[in-house]
Structure 1
Amino acid sequence: MSKRPFPVVLVTLQKIVGGGQTLATMDDGRKLFVWGGLPTEEVEVQLFRKKNSFAEGYVINVLKPAKDRIEALDQDSYISTSPWQIMAFASEQRHKAELIKEAFDLHHFKLPKKIEVYSDDHEYGYRNKMEFSWYWDKAANQLDLAFYGRGTHSKIPVAGSHLAMESINKTALAMRDLLRAHHATGFSLKTLLVRANQKGDVAMQLYVKSESFKPFREIDIAALGVKGFEVIYSNPKSPASVITKRLQAWGSLSLTDTINNVPFSYLAESFFQINLPVYEQALMDMHKWVDPAKPTVDLYSGVGTIGLTIGADDLTLVEINEAAVCEMKANIERLKMKHAHAVHAPSEKALDFISGNATIIVDPPRAGLDKSVINRLIEAAPARIIYLSCNPVTQARDIALLAESYSITSHRGYNFFPRTPHIEHLVVLDLT
């Protein structure tokens, strides 16, 4: 028996909530979390998930638009990649400040000053990394770049993204055209990862589903205009683009960028900040709170871009990802930082490095700080903690726990990801 399709419902949207959706209430009393809509709008929503207490969906028709609604640039795919393309940028800035406030209100914690969200006003073309899926048009027997539809397994064919740097879209389309000439089908391909530095140099990885994938001619790879290229077999049983086996390599997959006058190298698949100009401003703001006379401990340090740019000479960097630690060590050696030490460990297993005489920097994943890290911070009582977060909700939770010993000296939001709901927030905590 075929599965019944989810219905379309008519609702009036109320407010934007922490996940980035807009909230409504359905006729049966259930809360509805909607993508592609703005507060006050009357809309028709296609549901894609229904639970006993809530549902989720996306807007398919706007009956009464909000005053700040604008036309999305990526008409077909914005809900998948950047659902806030539909609002004026000033409204986005305001909503992000409100979401930071609500995150702290949720934990009964009042921030000491008005919330500011910094932006360099570049709404598009800022992303230095994109990951595309593939779409196979059966009628035309044609391959296209694609993104997954929000909340579904369907794919939307695209010719790039307005969020991406121009060099990324250009080389992604060149790869699509080469695969068409290569007679590759969407069923044999997994994803395409394209990364660019600020100069426009591009490194690209094609993830495929079979170890017997036919290799490319070097002359064809050179014509892509990339600095480096790899074909990687990725276990098709894993939904993520994991590296199971490297099948073909050409050029160099290592890119270089300068962050606040400090050079860094990183691999195409390594973690590296997506929006470097805004990140540089965050680092400059953080630098003001680092005491050069004290050791610096940088937890969740990635390839070391925070500690190696703003940390004191006596620097310890802790990171769980082995590839990132290798890149970090290479950066330390190249920068000739004799008193910087890379530690390959999860932060919750490196608690002995948290000491009372050090400045502690934390930039955890969305889940926030492990409880053991919070307990150790309270026990060791460092004079200052600099906490950069990609999730103000978990940051507020952690700071509420630290508040028994610390007070907030400074805080600022950053719009690292314009046209999306994602927010970065910096809080400087001083021992009371």
Structure 2
Amino acid sequence: MYEGEIKTLKVEDLAHGGDGVARTEAGIAVFIPLTIPGDLIRAKITKLKKNYAFATLLEIIEAGEGRKEPPCPVYEDCGGCQLQHLEYKKELELKNNNIEQLLKRIAGIEQYKRNKVLAADDQFRYRNKAQFPLSIDEKGKIKAGFYKRGSHQLVPYHDCLIQHPLINRILKASLAELNKREISIYNEEKGKGLLRHLVIRVGICTNQALLIFVTNKEEFAAKREIAAKVMAAVPELKGVIQNINSKNTNVIFGDKDITISGYSYIKEYINQTAYLISARSFFQVNTLQAEKLYNKVLDYLGDNEEQNIVDAFSGTGSIALYIADKAAKVFAIESLKSAVEDGEKNAELNEIKNIKFVNGLVEDKLAKILNEEKIDSIIFDPPRKGLADETITLLNELEIEKIIYISCNPATQARDLKKLKEKYELLEIQGVDMFPQTYHIESAALLELK
């Protein structure tokens, strides 16, 4: 096999990143975007490695079961979604299978209660947050969109089908105002230019929104006028923030926020729990599915209202607040100071008094809490990279009765469960589809001390 070769392949499986997987006569795995299991295709080999290869789809000779026409006009170029060409029922089946296969292959765990992935009621228009990179088109106009698959080439599109409609309205109004002025767009390679990203957050239950301009420097001459115009055009927009990020990095936010106009936060609800959300606070992107996830956490915690619980990587305290009445005391650990401040405001807003918010890294703060307090259960909801080795070592040494491990990356979750399985038994795992039309899946695992 060689790069540029045209091959006829039968797609057998779906990889974690959403690509179809076929195998050559020699058993080499070939990853092909925009394909599904059952597809018979012609594909061109684009990259060849020792044990696997990548290819682009040229022709579908015979469609696999569950293939459909994607509704988005830029879907084949844009990297925002990966599974719009797949019927939703089939998408859920493949996500279920993905969780099971990762646990088997990475963690070596096969004995546990398997629950079907909790489907989303809304398969489109569900995202409450969008982070838009920007570029200048051939006419000199500022455009927003998402990066083309596997690149930093922008695919401009201003009516994304998985974003809440209010996000798209604010995006269009913002671009209209920005394009009335001479505003430079940040160039990653040169490290120059003013505007880096537009970030928009929406309260699904409250219909409130926050707009954040991420800039390379603080000086932004027309910002107050732009904010006033966009807020006038979109009455649901409650605040406009400037975030300053002068670092040469692919991390979106910097450390400084300036309120340009209106409020610095929006209000949102999960069930009856209220939340104030600021520019950089972590909050689940699918509000309605978050309620299903948090109800599962309540189920895992059981009925012991005298237990002490740690909510590690707590963000704005979304889980801590939701489960507070199931505990004597909750310790919420979060590294971002502004999120901790939001969490404290949220506790006051909900008249909850049994949460102690701790600002710092989980790796640093968890040991101190476990040494000073009797903790019955720990809830982890870490970033995609999973848990630090020192945290896993600590759990194995101190032997906590119950661990609930929530993850948006089942691969790193499986890796961490492998390291915990000598001391802890995986009783149950629950997938929650927070991200329809994409390969991403949230999963909650219940572990108990052996």
- State the distance in 2 between where 1:316 and 1:54 align: 46
Encode CA deviations 1:196-249: one digit per residue, 9 max, x unaligned. 001221111122345544314264233231211134443273333233665771
| 1:190 maps onto 2:196 in alignment | yes
Residue 126 of structure 1: CA displacement? 0.5
For residues 448 and 218 of structure 2, the distance between their equivalents in structure 1, rounded to whole angstroms, comes to 54
Structure 1 CA distance, aligned partners of 2:231 and 2:5? 49
Equivalent position of 1:351 in the other structure: 367
CA RMSD of aligned residues (A): 2.6
1:204 aligns with 211
1:403 aligns with 2:421: yes
- Structure 2: how far apart are the matches of 1:361 and 1:202? 29
Q: Aligned partners of 2:61, 2:347: CA distance in 1, in Å?
A: 57
Aligned to 2:400: 382
CA spacing shift, 1:9–1:127, aligned 2, 3 Å: farther
Q: Which residue of 1 aligns with 2:31?
A: 33
Which segment is superposed worse, 227-236 or 321-330? 227-236
Q: Note if 1:335 corresponds to 2:363.
A: no
**Are the equivalent residues in 1 in contact too, given 2:14–2:21 (CA < 8 A)?**
yes
- CA offset at residue 195 of structure 1? 0.8
Structure 1 contact 256–263 (Cα < 8 Å) conserved: yes
Structure-1 separation of matches of 2:257 and 2:273 = 31
Give the unaligned 5+ runs of structure 2.
187-192
* Structure 1 residue aligned with 2:57: 59
Deviations for 1:404-431, whole angstroms, at most 9, x for unmatched residues? 2322333211001011111111121222
Contact 1:11 1:25 in 2 (8 A): no
Give the letter for the 1:119 counterpart.
A
Q: Which range moves more in the overlay, 165-174 or 62-71?
A: 62-71
Letter in 1 for 2:110: K
In terms of mean alpha carbon deviation, does 404-413 or 91-100 score higher? 404-413
**Mean Cα displacement is larger for which, 179-188 or 323-332?**
179-188
The whole-number CA distance in structure 2 between the counterparts of 1:183 and 1:27 is 57
Query: Sequence identity, in percent?
Result: 24
Call closer, same or farther: CA 1:403–1:248 in 2, change over 3 Å: closer
CA distance in 1, matches of 2:313, 2:155: 35
Normalising by structure 2, what TM-score? 0.86
Contact 2:280 2:339 in 1 (8 A): no
- Unmatched runs of 5 consecutive residues or more in structure 1: 1-5
The partner residue of 1:294 within 288, 307, 317 is: 307
Q: Summarize the alignment of residues 154-233 of structure 1 with structure 2, pairs less than 5 Å apart.
A: 154-184=153-183, 186=185, 188=193, 189-198=195-204, 199-209=206-216, 211-216=218-223, 217=225, 219-225=228-234, 226-233=237-244
| Superposition TM-score, scaled by structure 1 size | 0.90
Who is 1:371 aligned against? 389
2:128 equivalent to 1:123: no
Q: Secondary structure at the match of 2:233?
A: coil
Cα distance per residue 1:341-398 (max 9 Å; x no partner):
1111221212132365422111122222222222222222222212212222222232
Per the alignment, do residues 378 and 247 of structure 1 end up closer, same or farther by CA in structure 2, a change over 3 Å counting?
closer
Segment drifting more, 199-208 vs 92-101: 199-208
Number of residues paired by the alignment? 426
Instruction: Give the letter for the 2:440 counterpart.
Output: H
